[in-house]
């Protein structure tokens, strides 16, 4: 019923937000007499803020048209190379027309970025992808909003995430592949590679895990506390709803994106309130750069997706309540998850000093679990003064974290090439 009420509220707000947007323009358009009204900038700013608070946010585009690589501007074309019911494997294909650049691009490492399936779209990693494209061939898991997947496609469990990752690794080719997982997928990605190693399959050259709950018992955050303070039945009975009739996934049980978004905002309400007020002041003062930065951030932050109920509940129970990976008690369809079986894949972990989503030590726990990887092939980076989003987006990501990640990948890529 809550989902239906949300949709009703959305339909009620749509005319209001459209009116607010149009009214804001009448107070700023120099051809409009209303732009000459005393206080017009304040009125326009108020209506623009009302519009942005009430509008619906669709999935943004990656919108990566080119990158600077090897001293040249390289065009980028986004391609879907493999499509599954709940995910698309997207490649960002780089193009060049001179032989020297083509050879340089061809010899660069291949990276698979496992994007989070935790409320936001994969486009949250736009800065991650754009930066990686300078020196790598890049593939990304682009997860599909569960409300858009017909019920006939079946359920989607945490184990299905693992199988998807394995299929993508095999499709790209594990032998010269480097896998990067950001936040939530660190757990299923480690499980996927562990199961491949146990089965005697080739595993990627490297795996990098960034800000994820490998062992959520360490330095628990507010996110971890919620999962442990509530019973599994509480989550099943209070946050799972059925997709209404106006979507392709009508009848599918999901954890709605609007609930996840409400949880994100509730973690730092003062910060968001201050940000919106600053946006209003920027509009009043004509500071277009600051206003545009606010719009870019919230266009991404407010765009959320629904998660399949099975996947969400599996994650709550197995990752945040029973800690099965860390405890060594996790099995997928009867096959035990044994990170210690990984031998040839190098491991890098990245944590942010100020991360309030995945606490200190949660990601680094992968080093003890992956006992079969020689210590010389392991690396850990603790990013000073860096919060959760800062480890994969923004200036610190580009200037401090990425260079070390690039060098780590290059080290084992070159070692592979010399064999």
Are the CB atoms for 308 and 144 separated by under 8 Å? Answer: no
Query: Residues 311, 340: one domain?
Result: yes
Per-residue pLDDT of the chain (419 residues; tens, 9 = 90+): 788 787 777 788 888 888 888 988 888 888 888 888 888 889 999 988 988 888 888 899 999 999 988 778 899 999 999 999 999 999 999 988 777 777 778 889 999 999 999 889 999 999 999 999 999 999 999 999 999 999 999 999 999 999 999 999 999 999 999 999 999 999 999 999 999 999 999 999 999 999 999 999 998 887 888 888 899 999 999 999 999 988 999 999 999 998 888 877 877 788 889 998 898 889 888 888 898 988 888 888 888 999 999 999 999 999 999 999 999 999 999 999 999 999 999 999 999 999 988 999 999 999 999 999 999 999 999 999 999 989 999 999 999 999 999 999 999 987 654 44
Closest by alpha carbon to 154, among 310, 41, 290? 310
Q: Which domain holds residue 367?
A: 66-234+307-417
Query: Residues 137, 273: one domain?
Result: no
Query: Residues 264, 202: one domain?
Result: no
Does residue 244 lie within any of the structural domains? no
Q: Which long-range contacts (CB under 8 A, 24 or more apart) does 325-328 make?
A: 325/187, 325/190, 325/191, 325/214, 325/215, 325/369, 326/214, 326/215, 326/216, 326/217, 326/365, 326/369
Query: Residues 287, 321: one domain?
Result: no
Structure tokens at 187: 């757990």
Residue ending a domain, choose from 301, 331, 353:
301
Q: Looking at residue 415, what is its pLDDT?
A: 62
Does residue 9 lie within any of the structural domains? yes
Query: Residues 290, 335: one domain?
Result: no
Does residue 241 lie within any of the structural domains? no
Does residue 252 lie within any of the structural domains? no
DSSP 304: B
Structure tokens at 262: 């409400």
Which domain CATH number covers 348?
3.40.50.1820
Q: Looking at residue 267, what is its pLDDT?
A: 73
In this prediction the pTM is 0.91
- Spacing of C-alpha 412 from chain mean position: 25
Are the CB atoms for 124 and 115 separated by under 8 Å? Answer: yes
Does residue 336 lie within any of the structural domains? yes
Does residue 314 lie within any of the structural domains? yes
Query: Residues 179, 293: one domain?
Result: no
Closest by alpha carbon to 306, among 263, 242, 245? 242
Q: Which residues, at least 6 apart from 321, have a Cβ–Cβ distance to it below 8 Å?
A: 227, 228, 232
Query: Residues 326, 282: one domain?
Result: no
Does residue 168 lie within any of the structural domains? yes
Number of domains in the chain: 2
Residues in the chain: 419
Q: What does the alpha-carbon distance between residue 393 and residue 131 come to, in Å, rounded to a whole number?
A: 9
Q: What does the alpha-carbon distance between residue 271 and residue 112 come to, in Å, rounded to a whole number?
A: 33
Query: Residues 51, 101: one domain?
Result: no
Q: What does the alpha-carbon distance between residue 196 and residue 338 come to, in Å, rounded to a whole number?
A: 10
Residue ending a domain, choose from 242, 272, 301:
301
Q: Looking at residue 419, what is its pLDDT?
A: 44
Are the CB atoms for 381 and 351 separated by under 8 Å? Answer: yes
Query: Residues 280, 397: one domain?
Result: no
**Pairing outcome for strands 206-210 and 241-242:** unpaired
* Cα 6–Cα 224–Cα 167 angle in degrees, nearest 5: 80
* Cα 279–Cα 401–Cα 93 angle in degrees, nearest 5: 85
316 three-class SS: helix
Query: Residues 315, 404: one domain?
Result: yes
Q: Which residues, at least 6 apart from 202, have a Cβ–Cβ distance to it below 8 Å?
A: 174, 175, 196
Query: Residues 219, 332: one domain?
Result: yes
Query: Residues 96, 198: one domain?
Result: yes
Are the CB atoms for 319 and 325 separated by under 8 Å? Answer: yes
Closest by alpha carbon to 347, among 326, 327, 324, 376? 376
Are the CB atoms for 244 and 293 separated by under 8 Å? Answer: no
Handedness of CA 98, 103, 104, 110 (dihedral sign): positive
Are the CB atoms for 330 and 324 separated by under 8 Å? Answer: yes
337 three-class SS: coil
Does residue 240 lie within any of the structural domains? no
Closest by alpha carbon to 169, among 113, 115, 87, 123? 113
């Amino acid at each position: 019923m809550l989902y239906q009420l949300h949709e009703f509220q959305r339909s009620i707000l749509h005319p209001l937000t459209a009116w607010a947007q149009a009214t804001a323009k009448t107070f700023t358009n120099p051809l409009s007499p209303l732009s000459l009204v005393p206080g017009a900038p304040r009125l326009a700013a108020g209506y623009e803020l009302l519009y942005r608070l009430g509008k619906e946010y669709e999935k943004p585009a990656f919108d990566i048209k080119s990158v600077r690589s090897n001293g040249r501007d390289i065009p980028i074309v986004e391609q879907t190379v493999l499509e599954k019911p709940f995910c698309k494997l997207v490649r960002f294909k780089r193009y060049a027309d001179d032989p020297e650049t083509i050879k340089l691009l061809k010899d660069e490492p291949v990276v698979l970025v496992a994007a989070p399936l935790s409320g936001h779209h994969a486009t949250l990693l736009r800065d991650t992808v754009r930066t990686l494209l300078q020196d790598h061939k890049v593939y990304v898991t682009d997860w599909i909003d569960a409300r858009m997947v017909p019920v006939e496609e079946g359920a989607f469990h945490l184990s299905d995430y693992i199988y998807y990752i394995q299929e993508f690794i095999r499709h790209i080719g594990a032998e010269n592949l480097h896998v990067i997982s950001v936040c939530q997928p660190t757990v299923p990605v480690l499980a996927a590679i562990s199961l491949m190693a146990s089965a005697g399959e080739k595993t990627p050259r490297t795996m990098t895990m960034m800000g994820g709950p490998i062992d959520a018992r360490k330095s628990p955050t507010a996110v971890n506390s919620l999962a442990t303070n509530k019973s599994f039945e509480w989550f099943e009975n209070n946050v799972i709803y059925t997709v209404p009739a106006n979507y392709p996934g009508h009848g599918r049980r999901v954890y709605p994106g609007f609930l996840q978004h409400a949880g994100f905002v509730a973690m730092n309400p003062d910060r968001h309130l201050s940000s919106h007020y600053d946006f209003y002041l920027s509009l009043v003062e004509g500071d277009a750069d600051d206003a545009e930065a606010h719009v870019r951030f919230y266009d991404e932050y407010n765009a959320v997706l629904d998660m399949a109920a099975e996947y969400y509940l599996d994650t709550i129970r197995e990752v945040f309540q029973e800690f099965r990976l860390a405890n060594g008690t996790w099995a997928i369809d009867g096959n035990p998850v044994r990170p210690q079986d990984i031998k040839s894949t190098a491991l890098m972990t990245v944590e942010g000093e100020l991360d309030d989503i995945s606490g200190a030590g949660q990601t680094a726990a992968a080093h003890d679990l992956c006992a079969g990887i020689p210590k010389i092939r392991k690396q850990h980076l603790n990013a000073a003064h860096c919060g959760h989003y800062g480890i994969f987006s923004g200036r610190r990501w580009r200037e401090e974290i990425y260079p070390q990640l690039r060098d780590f990948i290059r080290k084992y890529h070159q070692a592979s090439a010399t064999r």
